[in-house]
């Protein structure tokens, strides 16, 4: 159980990256959505005790993470958004190294886990190659493998699926939802569908503030019946925009599909659809003018 | 576009920490240089001093340039901007030229302030009395000829390597390689900056001058035969080798840039192919590959241990990756090979020496520590930044690895790097020993080698870690560490007034100084104290770093820990400081402190100068030698040898010793400053006797600089007792000798010809020496008794006749060898067994010759004993019936005919006559009566055994030595009859003068004069140099009078030039016309003298010889020969003292 209260962080250059975040995260997958620069990475790094917040508390199972960072580190699996690797070191060696750093000193079980992880992320055939020579997606998979080392009670994965091919992405999502049953998994992503499919809880962050928080179904139900769609000519979008709250516009075969939020039918040609997370995202983020 | 890019480059560079720090550092170094100059010129601002100083600073500028180049050329790679930049349409020309020009401009801006600092210092800070007139040209010359080309050269070499390899480590290693090139060339060319080197013939230095990238050897070579006055006044000429050196390196730099330019493409460099693409797919598929949780081991020491281990392994693996590491190893191997092969012929006169453990380890130690510091700084910085640089830090920091485990892993890595460096070097030395070495290899020396170098290196490494922790930029941190090392290891800070205090030497304890007789270094295990002290300082640095760092690995978990560690380090510093600085006399540790003390002493006590003192008639000593200290109890029988009653006298022992007690039954003693005053009541009447008892003790600390004349190391001892025993009266040696310094302090000018105290008393000596029972004690006289009690042995010596106050004793483990001279025995005590026959033969031959030519040998036997290499200031020394030979000098020589050992023995034996039997008055010219005559005697004795040609060979060595040594004398050169401490006059010029005198008079007439002199002036008549010269003057023919005076009473040198020789056939054979130019430098320059010319054929056979009496100027001489000569030579028998003989012979041309 991770509970965050009034968490604020201002970088030295004056950027207000987090503004008084309050969040309760229980076991299961927790999805973090937000535009670029919203503060997702900052929040995750702060929880991972890689940087100190200016204000606020983070409690992991009742233990103050800021005061006792070692406690969170002992239970943490972390996949940073950006990382590098030592040059010339093979995946297996590097994973072993990191495993020891995580306290997996028993040789046999460590080797077994390293092996199964490499298999899980589909790297077992290239495990002797230097990670520095991997492709972007392979490297990301290696990152995932290292995050799963040990028995992390708290998994923080920052855009884990970025760069993965569809097959690997599904493999990862399956793996993580299996793991998520009895541990806290914090996941940030820009692929909205992923959250819908996996997460029991989610939050949308914008400009350092938490806009909404809750179970995806619950949040969506608030929009239920209020989202309308119509395919129009590109020149007409401007007119619709001036009249209604447009959630999104998307080019479809030379014409525009617009999603509009309206309590009742906005007009001719509009049809009601079931709201999806993307609609929710645009709804929330647009509302917040500062974003 | 280009201008814009260059502008950007310079602005970027100017923002770099390295640039800013180095600008400030070099400006300050320039100022420091103005206060503490290089070069042995008389004036602070002598052109050679300016040139040397600025050239050395540009050498140190190498470090700034390396870092700037690595940062500038590799910044796209480091910041992963490369793909962005390379994908822009910027042209190769614009890209490379702007980077290079920016680098050169910034390097110049960062390093040239040194020259500004120097000028500023000279104008406003330097002591005017030590300066000549300030003129601009030497500064401009140094900047233009040395600094700018050097900086440019460094820039292009390092820029090329950075661009070519795109690897910081390789770039850094190439920077170190330039430094090594300088160092190796200095070794090859005998730079006086290198302690170990010995002089070479000028032609041998030319390759080194060319090869050395910084031109430093070139300027030293250009002035190597200049006197101090010349160095003060003359501008440095652009000699051909120096010019070639400058052109060569500039050309090389430009072509390197061109080469880089050609080779550069906007492409990623691909890594080198892995050799080993191991694909052992023995990874059998286990039953379940599903992910299963694995519990972490609980936090604790066991887990920490494995974590540290894996971190260290990973760091070492990453650090030792790639070609740079192997390049560095090869470079070091090359350097060791150059150094050691140089050392192999590093004996006196470049004779080959026994390459044994001390020779190898002593010579490798200093470069190992200094270059090692550079290597360690780099690896420590790399190690510190490894995780961040490769973007691994988030994983590492979030892994649960404890901060202190991380710190310890860094520290262990640094220690491993140091260990690898030192152990590697030790084994390189060992391998060299296996291949070329002699004598047994001392494995145990390895422990001291390791201990004494590892601690400084680890300290530098940890200091670097701390600095990296405090500075937000790797290169800036490295630059600070380098600056720190250069400042404190080099000669820079210690030259500042008051900064030569040992406190500032912190990490370093000078040289290794391992000696095979003691099987120990001079410092020995006293180094432990030093280690504690250094450890405390390093720990402090780590704590400071830990407290200051917020985000990284060094954060100290709990304030308790920080306070605890601060406490520990403070305690270590205090303990260390007490032990390290304890043996130091705070007043006397620095040069300026010492001068102040001497001045105070002279002002306070010089009134006592003329007070009569009692004479010593008999001395009995009880000397106890322990492992690192000695205790000397003694009794003087004194008497009043004056005409007036003596009521009181001052007594003192040398500084650093403790006069434990001083008692006299008839007198009272009181402490008065550095003296004790003895008061006799009633006064000691003329001829009355008294007894004085005393006890002197000294504990040796290996941390004090070695005293070559007084040491006890592990029970082995050599003590010159005149530097131990108390003496009576005002100590005139406790005064400032340097005339300029006296003038500055307003002290009266000393122009006494003679030492005020007069000659020393001679007395009967009875000495008991007690030492460990493995040892043997040697003292003057006869050993009348030897007895063992417990594990102590005692030797009792009685002098055979009264001996002078200067005498020495030695205690060591010896083997005994004997030979006979008539019915007197010659006993040799050695540690090494080589050369025993040569030495004994030389001693017997010399005794035989001297006894037959100069008078009977007064002692019942002659004892010769080896002493450790710690006596570094002399090669051998003679006392009545007793000669000491220093281990690493003649005894170290490997030459098979033993000529130099033989010569040295003959020289020392002849001192039994020249010095002991005839003791000169303690006046100017005294060493002409000892050393010059001993040189003559050894010359004739060696000639008897080895033939006349060895004398010419010997003179060929002596003359260049005379010229190069006098170039480093700070005082004007005296003529032979006024010589004081100038060894180059008494030995080298003396040897030459006696060689010529024998040419004038012949051996038997010289010996006749010497026999006469020995009889007339036998002790105690104390002759002066002119007494002997007067005897010679009666024998010298009128035609030789000028030549005689030129040699003995003036300073006269020659520059002879055989401009051409043309020959033509005549009826009687061949007539050769030789054109000669003669310049004489000295007071008798207008007198005519005899010059010799010679014609030889291609095989060196003499065709014709001729003489002519010429004054200075151009002359022509025709010489007849039977067949056609091939070569004409001027002064072929080396009759004139001449620095450069290369123009004294020409090939004969046809008319
Ligand atoms: N080290 C830093 N120094 C200063 N400002 C920073 C730093 N890191 C992030 N920021 C700023 O903090 C804000 C939040 O950044 P953060 O990386 O947390 O965003 P994010 O939500 O992860 O964005 P993205 O989706 O692009 O990854 C941004 O405005 C960013 O510019
Ligand atoms: Mg992010």
Q: Could you report the per-residue pLDDT of B2-22, keeping only the tens digit for each?
A: 888 888 888 988 888 889 889
A120 plus A153 within the same structural domain = yes
**Which residue's alpha carbon is at the smallest distance from atom 14 of ligand 1?**
A39
Span A224-233, pLDDT tens digits? 888 888 888 8
Could you give the C-alpha distances from B405 to A95, B410, B419, B429, B510, in angstroms and in order?
19, 9, 20, 35, 34
Domain boundary among A179, A194, A220: A220
Domain span holding position A105 = 2-220
Same domain (yes/no): B524, B619: no
pLDDT at B436 exceeding the cut of 70: yes
- Tell me whether the omega of the peptide bond preceding residue B682 falls within 30 degrees of 0, making it cis: yes
Which residues 56-85 on chain A approach chain B with CB closer than 8 angstroms?
70, 73-74, 76, 78, 80, 82-85
Say if residue B892 is in the same domain as residue B799.
Answer: no
Does residue B601 fall inside a structural domain?
Answer: no
Using CB atoms within 10 Å of the CB of residue B29, give its burial: 0 to 12 exposed, 13 to 18 middle, 19+ buried.
buried
**Distance (Å) from CA B793 to ligand 1 centroid:** 82
d(Cα A117, Cα A151) in Å, to the nearest integer? Answer: 12
Considering only residues B284 and A235, tell me which one the structure prediction assigns the higher pLDDT. A235
Residue among A11, A81, A83, A208 to mutate when testing ligand 1 (max atoms within 8 A of CB): A11
* A113 contacts on B by Cβ (under 8 Å): 291-292, 294
Rounded CA-CA distance A54/B6 in Å is: 42
The alpha carbon of A71 and the centre of ligand 1 are apart by a number of angstroms equal to 25
Ligand 1: which atom is nearest the Cα of residue A45?
18
A289 in any annotated domain: no
pLDDT given for residue A6 in this prediction = 93
Round to whole Å and give the CA distance between A61 and B125: 68
CATH code: domain of residue B1109: 2.60.40.150
| B596: in domain | no
CB B404 within 8 A of CB A56: no
Place of tokens 């020393």: B760
Interchain CB distance below 8 Å, B318 and A133: no
At which of B877, B897, B912 does a domain end? B912
Given CB atoms, is A242 within the 8 Å cutoff of chain B? no
What pLDDT score was predicted for residue B196? 35
* pLDDT at residue B189 is higher than 60: yes
Of chain A, the percentage scoring pLDDT greater than 70 comes to 98
Q: Is A79 contained in some domain?
A: yes
Domain stops at, among B1002, B1026, B1051: B1051
A59 domain-assigned? yes
Chains A, B: CB pairs < 8 Å: 134
pLDDT level of residue B197 (50, 70, 90 thresholds) = very low
B385 and B240 share one domain: no
Residue A100 has its nearest CB partner, among B307, B317, B398, at B307
* Whether residue B279 has pLDDT greater than 60: no
Nearest CA to ligand 1 atom 29: A37
Are B834 and B888 members of one domain?
yes
Residue A251 lies inside a defined structural domain of this protein: yes
- State what percent of residues in chain B have pLDDT above 70: 90
Better-predicted residue by pLDDT, B668 or B868: B868
Chain B residues in contact with A130 (beta carbon < 8 A): 274
Atom of ligand 1 nearest to the CA of A13: 4
Q: Tell me if B842 is assigned to some domain.
A: yes
In a domain, A189, yes or no: yes
Strand B1127-1130 and strand B1145-1147: pairing?
A: antiparallel
Distance of residue A204 Cα from the nearest chain B Cα, in angstroms? 25
**Chain A closest-CA separation from residue B293 CA (Å):** 5
Question: Mutate which of A39, A46, A48 to test ligand 1's pocket (most atoms within 8 Å of Cβ)?
Answer: A39
CATH number for B662: 2.60.40.1730
How far does A156 lie from chain B, in Å, by closest CA?
Answer: 11
pTM, to two decimals: 0.85
Interface contact A100, partner B, CB < 8 A: yes
A158 C-alpha vs ligand 1 centroid, how far in Å? 12
Residue B996 lies in a domain: yes
Any domain includes B215 = yes
User: Do A6 and A66 lie in a common domain?
Assistant: yes
pLDDT tens per residue, range B752-810: 778 766 667 789 999 999 999 999 999 999 999 999 999 999 999 999 889 988 899 99
Give the helix/strand (H/E) hosting B743: helix B739-744
A206 and A233 housed in the same domain = no
In the predicted model, what is the mean pLDDT of chain B?
85
What is the Cα B808 distance to its own chain's centre?
Answer: 25
Q: Do residue B659 and residue B546 come from a single domain?
A: no
**Tens digits of per-residue pLDDT, B590-637?**
788 888 999 999 999 988 888 888 999 999 999 999 988 999 999 999
On whether residue A287 sits in a domain, the answer given is no
Indicate whether B865 and B925 sit together in one domain. Answer: no
Examine the pLDDT at B431 and tell me if it is beyond 90.
yes
B1024 and B1137, same domain (yes or no): no
Of A50, A97, A116, the CB nearest to B397: A50
Is B399 in contact with A98 (Cβ distance < 8 A)?
yes
When pLDDT is cut at 50, 70 and 90, the band that residue B268 belongs to is low
Q: What is the mean pLDDT of residues B317-323?
A: 84
Residues B124 and B231 in one domain: yes
Dist CA A197 CA B771 (whole Å): 92
B1039 plus B1059 within the same structural domain: no
Kind of pairing between the strands at A154-158 and A76-79:
parallel
For residue A112, the chain B residues in CB contact (below 8 A) are 286, 292, 294
- Residues A12, A66 within the same domain: yes
* Inside any domain, residue B606: no
Measured in Å, residue A167 CA sits from the centre of ligand 1 at 30
Residues A185 and A250 in one domain: no
Q: How far is A198 from chain B (nearest CA, A)?
A: 19
Average pLDDT rounded to a whole number, residues B860-885? 91
Q: Who has greater pLDDT, B1062 or B456?
A: B1062
Within a domain: A278: no
Asked if A58 and A183 sit in the same domain, the reply is yes
Q: What's the pLDDT band for B91 if we cut at 50, 70, 90? A: confident
If asked whether residues A106 and A244 sit together in one domain, one would say no
In this prediction, residue B1058 has a pLDDT band, given cuts at 50, 70 and 90, of: very high
Strand partners, B1072: B1063, B1119
> A259 CA distance to ligand 2 centroid (A)?
27
Question: Does B576 share its domain with B662?
Answer: no
**Assigned domain for B273 exists:** no
CA of A55 to the centre of ligand 1 (A): 17
| Domain match, A239 and A123 both | no
A264 in reach of chain B (CB within 8 A): no
Over 70: is that where the pLDDT of B190 sits? no
How many other CB atoms are there within 10 angstroms of residue A136's CB atom?
A: 10
User: DSSP H helical segments within chain A, as ranges?
Assistant: 40-47, 69-73, 91-101, 107-120, 136-147, 166-179, 192-198, 216-221, 237-243, 277-287
Residues A216 and A154 in one domain: yes
Find, in chain B, the residue whose alpha carbon is nearest to that of A122: B289
Chain A residues within 8 A of B297 when measuring between CB atoms: 103-106
In this structure, the answer to whether residues A29 and A104 fall within a common structural domain is: yes
Report residue B140's pLDDT band, with 50, 70 and 90 as the boundaries.
very high
Same domain, yes or no: B943 and B988: yes
Residues A177 and A103 in one domain: yes
Pick the residue from chain A with its C-alpha nearest to B299: A103
Residues 6+ apart with CB under 8 A from B843: B819, B821, B826, B828, B862, B864, B883, B905, B909
Q: Is A94 left (phi over 0), alpha (psi -120 to 50) or beta?
A: alpha
Count of domains for chain B? 6
A157-212: pLDDT as tens digits = 999 988 889 888 888 888 888 888 888 999 998 888 888 888 889 999 999 999 99
Residue A124 with chain B: CB contacts under 8 Å: 283
Helix (H, G, I), strand (E, B) or coil at B294: coil
User: For position B997, what pLDDT does the model report?
Assistant: 94
For a substitution probing ligand 1, which of A12, A13, A38 has the most ligand atoms within 8 Å of its CB? A38
pLDDT at B891: 81
B1003-1016 vs B990-1001: helix crossing angle, rounded to 10: 110
Residue A283 lies in a domain: no
8 Å CB contact between B1128 and B1095: yes
pLDDT digits (tens, 9 = 90+) for B947-984: 888 888 888 888 888 887 887 777 788 999 999 888 88
The model's pLDDT over A197-242, given as tens digits with 9 standing for 90+, comes to 888 899 999 999 999 999 988 888 888 888 888 888 888 888 888 8
Query: pLDDT at position B551, please?
Result: 42
Asked which of B1005, B1031, B1051 is the last residue of a domain, the reply is B1051
Total structural domains within chain A: 2
Domain that holds residue B891: 823-912
Using a CB-CB distance cutoff of 8 angstroms, which residues of chain B are in contact with residue A48? 394, 398
Which residues have CB under 6 Å of ligand 1?
A: A 11, 13, 15, 17, 34, 36-42, 81
* Residues B944 and B1037 placed together within one structural domain of the fold: yes
**Cβ B650 vs Cβ B677: under 8 Å:** yes
* Highest averaged pLDDT of the listed ranges A261-270, B177-186, B209-218, B1043-1052: B1043-1052
Integer angstrom CA distances of residue B51 from B45, B46, B57, B214, B964: 10, 9, 10, 11, 19
Instruction: Give domain status of residue B742, yes or no.
Output: no
How many angstroms separate the alpha carbon of residue A41 from the centre of ligand 2? 4
- Give B87 to chain A, closest Cα distance, Å: 20
pLDDT recorded at residue B1067: 86
Q: In terms of domains, do A233 and A200 share one? A: no
- In this prediction, residue A268 carries a pLDDT of 82
Binary contact (B398, A49; C-beta < 8 A): yes
Question: Chain B closest CA to A133's CA: distance in Å?
Answer: 10
- A174 in B contact zone (CB under 8 Å): no
Test site for ligand 1: of A36, A37, A187, most ligand atoms within 8 A of the Cβ: A37
Of B280, B294, B392, the CB nearest to A110: B294
Most confident of the following: A235-249, A252-266, B140-154, B540-554? B140-154
**pLDDT for the residue B934:** 95
């Amino acid at each position: 159980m991770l509970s965050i209260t009034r968490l604020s962080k201002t970088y030295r250059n004056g950027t207000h990256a987090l503004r008084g975040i309050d969040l309760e995260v229980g076991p299961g997958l927790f999805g973090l959505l937000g535009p670029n620069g919203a503060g997702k990475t900052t929040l995750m790094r702060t929880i991972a005790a890689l940087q100190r917040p200016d204000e606020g508390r983070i409690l992991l199972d009742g233990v103050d993470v800021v005061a006792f960072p070692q406690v969170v580190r002992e239970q943490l699996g972390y996949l940073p958004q950006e990382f590098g690797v030592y040059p010339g070191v093979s995946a297996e060696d590097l994973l072993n190294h990191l495993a020891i750093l995580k306290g997996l000193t028993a040789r046999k079980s460590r080797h077994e886990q390293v092996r199964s992880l490499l298999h899980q992320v589909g790297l077992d055939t290239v495990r002797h190659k230097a990670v520095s020579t991997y492709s972007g997606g392979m490297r990301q998979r290696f990152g995932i493998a290292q995050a799963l080392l040990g028995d992390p009670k708290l998994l923080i994965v920052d855009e884990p699926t970025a760069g993965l091919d569809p097959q690997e992405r599904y493999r990862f999502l399956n793996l993580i939802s299996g793991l998520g049953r009895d541990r806290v998994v914090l996941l940030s992503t820009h692929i909205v569908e992923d959250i819908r499919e996996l997460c029991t809880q989610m939050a949308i962050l914008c400009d350092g503030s938490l806009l909404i928080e809750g179970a995806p179904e619950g949040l969506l139900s608030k929009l239920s019946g209020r989202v309308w769609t119509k395919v129009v000519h590109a020149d007409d979008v401007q007119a619709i925009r001036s009249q209604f709250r447009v959630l999104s516009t998307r080019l479809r075969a030379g014409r525009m599909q617009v999603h509009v939020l309206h309590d009742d039918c906005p007009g001719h040609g509009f049809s009601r659809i079931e709201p999806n997370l993307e609609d929710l995202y645009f709804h929330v983020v647009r509302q917040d003018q500062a974003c | 576009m280009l201008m814009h890019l260059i502008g950007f480059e310079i602005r970027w560079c100017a923002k770099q920490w390295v640039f800013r720090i180095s600008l400030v550092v070099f400006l300050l170094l320039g100022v420091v240089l103005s206060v503490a100059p290089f070069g042995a010129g008389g004036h602070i601002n002598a052109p050679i001093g300016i040139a040397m100083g600025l050239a050395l600073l540009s050498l140190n500028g190498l470090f700034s340039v390396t870092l700037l180049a690595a940062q500038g050329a590799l910044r796209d790679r480091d910041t992963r901007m490369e793909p962005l930049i390379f994908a822009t349409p910027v042209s190769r020309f614009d890209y490379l030229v702007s980077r290079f020009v920016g680098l050169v401009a910034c390097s110049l801006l960062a390093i040239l302030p040194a020259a500004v600092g120097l000028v500023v210092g000279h104008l406003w800070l330097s002591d005017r009395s030590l300066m000549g007139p300030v003129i601009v040209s030497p500064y401009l010359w140094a900047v233009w000829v040395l600094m700018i080309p050097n900086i440019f050269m460094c820039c292009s070499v390092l820029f090329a390597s950075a661009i070519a390899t795109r690897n910081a480590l390789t770039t850094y290693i190439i920077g170190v390689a330039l430094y090594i090139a300088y160092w190796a060339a200095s070794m090859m060319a005998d730079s006086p900056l290198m302690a170990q080197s010995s002089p070479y013939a000028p032609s041998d230095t030319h390759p080194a001058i060319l090869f050395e990238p910084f031109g430093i050897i070139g300027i030293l070579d250009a002035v190597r035969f200049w006197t101090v006055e010349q160095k003060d006044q003359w501008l440095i000429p652009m000699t051909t080798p120096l010019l070639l050196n400058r052109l060569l390196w500039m050309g090389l730099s430009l072509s390197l840039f061109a080469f880089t330019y050609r080779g550069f493409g906007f492409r990623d460099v691909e890594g080198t192919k892995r050799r080993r693409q191991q694909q052992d797919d023995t990874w059998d598929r286990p039953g379940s590959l599903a992910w299963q949780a694995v519990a972490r081991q609980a936090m604790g020491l066991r887990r920490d241990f494995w974590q540290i281990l894996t971190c260290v392994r990973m760091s070492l693996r990453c650090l030792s990756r790639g070609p740079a590491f192997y390049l560095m190893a090869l470079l070091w191997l090359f350097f060791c090979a150059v150094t050691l092969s140089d050392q192999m012929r590093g004996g006196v006169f470049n004779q080959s020496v026994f390459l044994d453990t001390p020779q190898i380890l002593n010579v490798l130690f200093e470069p190992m520590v200094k270059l090692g510091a550079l290597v360690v700084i780099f690896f420590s910085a790399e190690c510190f930044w490894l995780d961040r640089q490769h973007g691994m830090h988030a994983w590492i920091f979030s892994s649960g690895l404890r901060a202190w485990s991380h710190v310890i892993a860094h520290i262990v890595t640094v220690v491993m790097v140091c260990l690898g460096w030192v152990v590697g070097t030790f084994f390189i030395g060992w391998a060299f020993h296996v291949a070329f070495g002699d004598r047994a290899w001392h494995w145990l020396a390895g422990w001291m080698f390791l201990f004494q170098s590892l601690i400084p290196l680890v300290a530098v490494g940890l200091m670097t870690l701390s600095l990296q922790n405090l500075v937000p930029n790797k290169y800036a941190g490295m630059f600070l560490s380098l600056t720190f090392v250069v400042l404190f290891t080099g000669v820079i800070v210690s030259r500042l007034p008051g900064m030569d205090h040992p406190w500032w030497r912190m990490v370093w304890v000078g040289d290794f100084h391992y000696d095979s007789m003691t099987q120990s270094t001079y410092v020995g295990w006293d180094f432990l104290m030093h280690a504690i002290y250094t450890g405390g300082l390093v720990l402090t640095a780590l704590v400071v770093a830990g407290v200051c760092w917020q985000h990284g690995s060094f954060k100290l978990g709990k304030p308790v820990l920080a306070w605890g560690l601060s406490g520990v380090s403070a305690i270590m510093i205090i303990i260390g400081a007490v032990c390290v600085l304890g043996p130091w006399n705070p007043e006397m540790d620095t040069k300026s402190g010492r001068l102040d003390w001497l001045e105070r002493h002279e002002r306070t006590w010089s009134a006592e100068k003329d007070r009569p003192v009692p004479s010593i008639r008999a001395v009995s000593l009880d000397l106890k030698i322990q492992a690192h200290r000695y205790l000397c109890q003694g009794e003087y029988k004194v008497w009043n040898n004056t005409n007036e009653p003596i009521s009181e006298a001052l007594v003192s022992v040398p500084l650093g010793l403790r006069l434990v007690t001083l008692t006299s039954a008839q007198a009272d003693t009181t402490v008065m400053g550095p003296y004790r005053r003895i008061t006799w009541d009633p006064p000691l009447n003329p001829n009355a006797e008294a007894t004085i008892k005393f006890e002197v003790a000294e504990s040796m600390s290996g941390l004090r600089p070695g005293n070559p004349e007084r040491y006890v190391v592990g029970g082995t001892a050599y003590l010159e007792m005149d530097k131990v025993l108390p003496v009576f009266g005002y100590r005139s040696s406790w005064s400032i000798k340097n005339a300029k310094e006296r003038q500055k302090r307003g002290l009266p000018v000393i122009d006494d010809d003679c030492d005020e105290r007069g000659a020393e008393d001679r007395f009967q000596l009875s000495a008991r020496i007690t030492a460990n029972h493995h040892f043997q004690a040697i003292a003057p006289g006869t050993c009348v008794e030897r007895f063992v009690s417990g594990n102590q042995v005692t030797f009792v010596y009685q002098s055979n006749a009264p001996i002078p106050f200067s005498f020495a004793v030695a205690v060591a483990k010896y083997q005994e060898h004997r030979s006979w001279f008539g019915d007197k025995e010659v006993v040799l005590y050695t540690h090494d067994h080589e050369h025993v026959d040569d030495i004994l033969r030389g001693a017997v031959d010399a005794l035989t010759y001297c006894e037959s030519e100069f008078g009977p040998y007064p002692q019942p036997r002659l004892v010769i004993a080896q002493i450790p290499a710690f006596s570094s200031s002399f090669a051998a020394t003679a006392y009545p019936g007793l000669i000491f030979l220093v281990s690493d000098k003649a005894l170290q020589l490997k030459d098979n005919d033993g000529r130099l050992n033989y010569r040295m023995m003959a020289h020392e034996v002849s001192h039994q006559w020249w010095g002991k039997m005839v003791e000169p008055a303690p006046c100017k010219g005294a060493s002409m009566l000892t050393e010059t005559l001993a040189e003559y005697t050894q010359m004739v004795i060696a000639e008897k055994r080895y033939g006349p040609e060895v004398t010419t060979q010997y003179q060929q060595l002596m003359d260049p030595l005379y010229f190069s040594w006098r170039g480093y004398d700070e005082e004007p050169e005296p003529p032979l009859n006024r010589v004081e401490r100038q060894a180059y006059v008494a030995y080298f010029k003396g040897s030459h003068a006696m060689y010529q005198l024998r040419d004038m008079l012949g051996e038997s007439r010289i010996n006749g004069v010497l026999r006469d002199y020995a009889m007339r002036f036998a002790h105690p008549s104390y002759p002066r140099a002119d007494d002997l010269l007067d005897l010679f003057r009666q024998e010298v023919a009128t035609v030789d009078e000028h030549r005689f005076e030129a040699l003995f009473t003036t300073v006269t040198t020659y520059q002879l030039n055989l401009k051409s020789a043309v020959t033509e056939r005549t009826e009687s054979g061949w007539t050769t016309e030789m054109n000669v130019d003669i310049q004489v430098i000295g007071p008798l320059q207008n007198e005519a003298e005899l010059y010799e010319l010679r014609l030889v054929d291609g095989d060196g056979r003499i065709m014709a010889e001729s003489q002519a009496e010429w004054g200075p100027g151009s002359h022509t001489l025709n010489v007849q020969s039977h067949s056609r000569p091939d070569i004409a030579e001027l002064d072929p028998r080396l009759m004139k003292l001449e620095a450069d003989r290369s123009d004294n012979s020409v090939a004969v041309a046809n008319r």
